[in-house]
C-alpha cells in the first residue's frame, strides 16, 4: 500500500477516536465508564469488528433511542435489557405482560413488555390492603422472533397515562431460580445492550430535529457538518448494517462523527461489490447526482463497468454536504477497504470541490469530466441566447467531430466569433477546462467504455430507475437491495450466455472469428460492429514513412443527419516490427477494442490476427478466473490467510451469483458446495 494512503487513513481514525473519547467521557455514568471502550469511526468489516457500539450522549446527557417498530435484537434477553434500560432513563418499571412458546420445543417466539402500571387489579384483589398502583397505562412493546432468529419489534406505544418518576433502578421480571442465577452472574448484559445501541443514539439524539429545511440552518457550514436525516432514518440504516453484517461476512462500513458526536458522513460496501472492485478498479465513475441536485438522499455512488460492459456498483456513501472535507473523507474510506489500490481513471461531473479532493486523495489517478454531464447543461446555460439551436449544433460539431487539437481550437474560435459569445462566462470556463473533458485531448486516457466520446452516449445514474428526488432513506435501503440483485443477476446471466453460446459471424474477416472465441458476448457485438463497418472504409493509402512507423490515411463514408453520407479522413500509425497500430480516433483507449480504421490498416498489411496487446483481458469470458490467480500472487499487503479468504470468497461468489439464475442452477450450485464441504471435512479427518 502507498505510505501516503496509510497516513491519510490513520489521520481519520486518530482524530475521530479523540472526538469520540471526549464525547464518551462527558456523558457516561461512573459505573459504566470503565467498561466502555472508545474506538475509531465505527469501522466494521465482516468478522473484524473494530468498533464497540455504545450508548452516546446528546446535549451532555445519556439518552436512549425510544423503541420503534422495526428494531431488531440478537436475542430476547437483549430486547428485554434494552427496554429495561430505556425504562430506567424515562422513569418507569417494566413487566412482562405476555409470552408465547412453541408447542413442541417450548422455545419462546413472542412477548409483550409493558409498563408496570399497565392494567388494573383483579376484582378478587380489590379489597386487599395493598395500595392500587396500576393505572391502565398503555405503554408497551410487542416483539416476535423472525426467520433470522433475531427479535423484531412489531408494535410500540410510548405514551403513559401517569406521571413518570425519577430514574428507576429496579424492574419487575418474573424469573425462576435458574434464570435469577443467570441474571445475577451476568450483570453486564445491560451494559452490552447499551453498547449495541450507541450508534443509533448518535443520530437520534444529535439529529433530533433532522427534518429541518435549508433555510433554518444557521449557516452553510452548519448544514454541511451533519447528515440531514428524517426521523427513523438512522435506525433503518443501523438495522440494515446489522443485518448485512450477519448475512454478509465481507460487508464493510465506516461512520464519521463531527465534534458534537453527530453523524456526518457514512460509507459502506457490500461483499459482492468488494469482490467486483478487485477485478474492475481501472476506471470508476463517481456519481454525485443525488447530492449535487439536492435529492432527499445525499448519496454518492462509486460505479465501474464489468467484463460485459454493464455498470456495477463499487461502493456507496452519504455525505453531509458538497465540501472538500466530506469528499476527502469518503475517498479515504474507499482506500481503507481497497488496501490502497488507486483507480487508473476517475470520471466525475465538472466540479471544483471534487477536483480538489481527488487530486489530494488520488494523486496518481487521471481525473476527467463526464462529457455527457456537460452536454446536459447546454440548454440551461445557453438556452437564453439568440440563435440557441444554431449555437448548440456548432458546439456539438466542434466537440465530437474534431480529430486534432488544432481542429478543435479553430472550430471553437469560429463559433465564438460568429455568434458573439466570447464573453459568455460558462463557455469561457468550459474552454479553460477543455483538457479534462474534450475527447480530442483525452486520447491517451483509458476509459473502458465509460468515455461518452460519441454524441449518442451518456453516463446514467446507477440508481436511476429506483430513486426519485423525494425518496426517503428507509425506502432507498430496500431499493438498494433490489437494484443490486438485478445487476448481479444480469451479470450472471451474461456469464452463462457468453460461455454457452457461439455468436453468429456476419463477415468472413479473420478478426471477427478470432475474438468470437475470446470476448464476452456483449463486448464481441460491439467489436463486431467495427468489423462490419470496415466496408464503409473505401480507401487505405500510405501517406508517410518515418523509420519503422508508417502513416496511413483511411477514408470512411460516415452517415450524417438526413441519411446523407459524409467522407472523413482518419490517420492511422502502424509499426510492423513492434506490432503496434494506433488510429487518430483513439477507439482503443475510449472503448477497449480496435476501430474499423485500425483493422483496415492491419488487413491492408496482410495481418490476419489482432496483436495480443489489443485484446484486453478485462473483456474476456473467463476474465475473473484469469484475474483471480493474479490478484492472489500479486498481493503483498495481506497475510497468507487473508489471501486464502479473499480467493475462496471470490470463487464462491461466482457460484452463488450463477446459482441464483434458476432452480436448476441453484440445485447444481448447492450440490457443489455440499460436496466441497464434505471433501474439506474428509481432509480434517485424515489429519
Mean pLDDT to the nearest integer, 319-340: 89
- Claim to verify: residue 593 and residue 676 sit in the same structural domain: no
Which three-class secondary structure string do you get for 580-641? EEEECCCHHHHHCCCCHHHHHHHHHCCCCCCCHHHCCHHHECCHHHHHHHHHHHHCCCCCHH
pLDDT band at 214 (very low <50, low <70, confident <90, very high): very low
- Claim to verify: residue 377 and residue 363 sit in the same structural domain: no
Q: Is residue 36 part of a domain?
A: no
pLDDT surpassing 80 at residue 221: no
pLDDT band at 219 (very low <50, low <70, confident <90, very high): very low
pLDDT at 345: 96
Cell of 59: 446535549
Residues with Cβ within 8 Å of residue 512, at least 6 apart in sequence: 505, 506, 527, 528, 531
Boundary (domain end) residue, out of 367, 395, 420: 367
Q: Buried b vs exposed e over 601-610: b needs ≥16 C-beta within 10 Å? A: bbbeeebeeb
- Claim to verify: residue 321 and residue 243 sit in the same structural domain: yes
- Claim to verify: residue 338 and residue 260 sit in the same structural domain: yes
pLDDT band at 10 (very low <50, low <70, confident <90, very high): very low
Q: Is residue 182 part of a domain?
A: no
H runs (alpha helix) in 440-581: 473-500, 510-516, 521-532
Q: How many domains are there within the chain?
A: 5
Question: Within a 10 A sphere around the Cβ of 456, how many other Cβ atoms?
Answer: 7
pLDDT at 687: 56
Find the range with the poorest average confidence among 7-21, 222-236, 260-274. Answer: 7-21
- Claim to verify: residue 442 and residue 392 sit in the same structural domain: yes
- Claim to verify: residue 256 and residue 294 sit in the same structural domain: yes
Q: Is residue 177 part of a domain?
A: no
- Claim to verify: residue 291 and residue 351 sit in the same structural domain: yes
- Claim to verify: residue 521 and residue 647 sit in the same structural domain: no
Span 155-179, pLDDT tens digits: 888 888 888 875 444 444 444 444 4
Do 267 and 330 form a contact (C-beta atoms < 8 A)? yes
| pTM of model > 0.75 | no
Q: List the CATH number of the domain containing 116.
A: 2.20.25
- Claim to verify: residue 609 and residue 537 sit in the same structural domain: yes
pLDDT band at 47 (very low <50, low <70, confident <90, very high): very low
Boundary (domain end) residue, out of 367, 385, 404: 367
Q: Is residue 147 part of a domain?
A: yes
Q: What's the rounded Cα separation, in Å, for the pair 304 and 311?
A: 6
Expressed as residue numbers, the domain containing 565 is 508-625
Which of 73-82, 288-297, 351-360 shows the highest mean pLDDT?
351-360
Q: What's the rounded Cα separation, in Å, for the pair 110 and 120?
A: 23
Boundary (domain end) residue, out of 300, 332, 367: 367
Under the phi-then-psi rule, with left for phi > 0, alpha for psi from -120 to 50, and beta for the rest, what region is 606? left
Span 511-546, pLDDT tens digits: 999 999 899 999 999 999 999 999 999 999 999 999
- Claim to verify: residue 395 and residue 429 sit in the same structural domain: yes
Q: Is residue 607 part of a domain?
A: yes
Q: Is residue 18 part of a domain?
A: no
Q: Is residue 408 part of a domain?
A: yes
Q: Is residue 494 part of a domain?
A: no
- Claim to verify: residue 430 and residue 521 sit in the same structural domain: no
- Claim to verify: residue 515 and residue 608 sit in the same structural domain: yes
What is the rounded average pLDDT for all residues in the chain?
Answer: 78
pLDDT band at 639 (very low <50, low <70, confident <90, very high): low
Do 261 and 23 form a contact (C-beta atoms < 8 A)? yes
Do 298 and 287 form a contact (C-beta atoms < 8 A)? no
pLDDT band at 643 (very low <50, low <70, confident <90, very high): low
Q: What's the rounded Cα separation, in Å, for the pair 315 and 302?
A: 5
Amino acid at each position: 500500500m502507498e505510505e501516503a494512503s496509510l497516513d491519510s487513513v490513520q489521520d481519520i481514525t486518530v482524530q475521530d477516536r479523540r472526538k469520540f473519547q471526549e464525547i464518551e467521557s462527558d456523558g457516561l455514568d461512573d459505573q459504566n465508564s470503565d467498561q466502555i471502550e472508545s474506538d475509531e469511526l465505527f469501522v466494521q468489516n465482516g468478522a473484524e469488528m473494530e468498533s464497540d457500539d455504545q450508548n452516546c450522549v446528546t446535549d451532555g446527557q445519556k439518552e436512549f433511542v425510544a423503541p420503534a417498530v422495526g428494531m431488531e435484537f440478537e436475542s430476547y434477553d437483549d430486547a428485554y435489557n434494552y427496554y429495561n434500560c430505556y425504562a430506567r432513563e424515562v422513569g418507569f418499571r417494566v413487566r412482562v405482560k405476555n409470552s408465547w412458546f412453541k408447542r413442541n420445543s417450548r422455545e419462546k417466539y413472542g412477548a409483550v413488555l409493558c409498563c408496570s402500571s399497565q392494567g388494573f387489579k383483579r376484582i378478587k384483589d380489590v379489597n386487599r390492603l395493598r395500595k392500587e398502583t396500576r393505572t391502565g397505562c398503555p405503554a408497551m412493546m410487542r416483539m416476535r422472533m423472525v426467520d433470522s432468529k433475531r427479535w423484531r419489534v412489531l408494535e410500540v406505544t410510548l405514551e403513559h397515562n401517569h406521571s413518570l418518576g425519577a430514574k428507576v433502578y429496579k424492574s419487575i421480571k418474573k424469573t425462576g431460580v435458574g434464570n435469577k442465577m443467570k441474571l445475577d452472574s451476568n450483570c453486564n448484559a445491560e451494559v452490552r445492550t447499551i453498547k449495541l445501541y450507541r450508534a443509533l443514539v448518535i443520530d437520534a439524539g444529535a439529529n433530533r430535529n433532522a427534518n429541518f429545511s435549508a433555510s433554518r440552518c444557521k449557516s452553510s457550514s452548519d448544514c454541511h457538518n451533519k447528515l440531514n436525516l428524517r426521523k427513523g432514518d438512522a435506525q433503518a440504516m443501523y438495522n440494515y448494517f446489522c443485518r448485512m453484517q450477519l448475512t454478509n461476512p465481507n460487508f464493510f462500513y465506516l461512520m464519521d462523527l463531527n465534534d458534537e458526536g453527530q453523524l456526518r458522513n457514512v460509507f459502506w460496501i457490500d461483499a459482492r461489490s468488494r469482490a467486483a472492485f478487485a477485478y474492475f478498479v481501472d476506471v470508476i465513475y463517481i456519481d454525485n447526482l443525488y447530492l449535487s441536485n439536492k435529492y432527499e438522499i445525499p448519496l454518492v455512488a462509486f460505479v465501474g463497468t464489468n467484463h460485459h460492459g454493464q455498470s456495477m456498483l463499487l461502493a456507496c456513501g452519504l455525505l453531509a454536504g458538497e465540501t472538500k472535507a466530506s469528499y476527502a473523507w469518503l475517498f479515504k474510506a474507499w482506500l481503507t477497504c481497497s488496501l490502497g489500490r488507486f483507480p487508473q481513471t476517475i470520471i466525475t461531473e465538472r466540479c471544483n470541490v471534487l477536483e480538489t479532493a481527488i487530486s489530494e486523495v488520488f494523486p496518481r489517478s487521471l481525473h476527467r469530466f463526464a462529457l455527457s454531464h456537460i452536454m446536459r447543461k447546454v440548454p440551461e446555460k445557453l438556452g437564453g441566447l439568440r440563435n440557441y439551436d444554431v449555437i448548440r449544433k456548432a458546439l456539438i460539431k466542434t466537440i465530437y467531430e474534431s480529430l486534432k487539437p488544432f481542429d478543435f481550437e479553430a472550430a471553437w474560435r469560429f463559433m465564438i466569433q460568429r455568434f458573439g459569445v466570447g464573453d459568455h462566462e460558462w463557455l469561457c470556463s468550459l474552454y479553460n477546462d477543455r483538457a479534462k473533458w474534450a475527447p480530442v485531448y483525452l486520447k491517451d486516457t483509458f476509459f473502458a467504455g465509460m468515455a461518452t466520446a460519441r454524441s449518442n452516449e451518456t453516463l446514467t445514474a446507477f440508481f436511476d430507475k429506483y430513486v426519485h428526488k423525494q425518496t426517503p432513506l428507509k425506502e432507498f435501503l430496500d431499493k438498494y437491495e433490489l437494484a443490486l440483485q438485478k445487476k448481479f443477476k444480469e451479470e450472471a446471466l451474461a456469464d452463462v450466455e457468453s460461455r454457452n453460446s457461439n455468436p453468429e459471424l456476419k463477415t468472413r474477416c479473420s478478426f471477427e472469428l478470432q475474438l468470437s472465441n475470446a470476448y464476452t458476448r456483449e463486448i464481441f457485438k460491439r467489436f463486431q460492429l467495427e468489423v462490419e463497418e470496415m466496408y464503409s472504409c473505401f480507401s487505405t493509402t500510405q501517406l508517410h514513412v518515418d523509420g519503422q512507423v508508417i502513416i496511413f490515411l483511411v477514408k470512411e463514408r460516415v452517415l450524417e443527419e438526413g441519411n446523407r453520407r459524409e467522407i472523413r479522413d482518419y490517420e492511422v500509425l502502424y509499426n510492423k516490427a513492434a506490432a503496434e497500430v494506433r488510429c487518430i480516433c483513439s477507439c482503443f483507449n475510449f472503448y477497449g477494442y480496435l476501430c474499423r480504421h485500425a483493422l483496415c490498416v492491419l488487413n491492408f498489411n496482410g495481418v490476419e490476427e489482432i496483436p495480443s496487446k489489443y485484446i484486453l483481458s478485462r473483456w474476456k469470458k473467463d476474465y475473473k478466473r484469469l484475474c483471480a490467480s493474479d490478484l492472489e500472487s500479486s498481493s503483498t499487503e495481506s497475510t497468507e490467510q487473508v489471501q486464502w479468504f479473499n480467493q475462496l470468497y471470490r470463487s464462491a461468489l461466482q457460484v452463488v451469483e450463477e446459482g441464483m439464475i434458476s432452480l436448476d442452477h441453484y440445485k447444481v450450485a448447492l450440490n457443489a458446495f455440499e460436496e466441497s464441504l464434505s471433501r474439506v471435512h474428509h481432509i480434517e479427518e485424515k489429519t
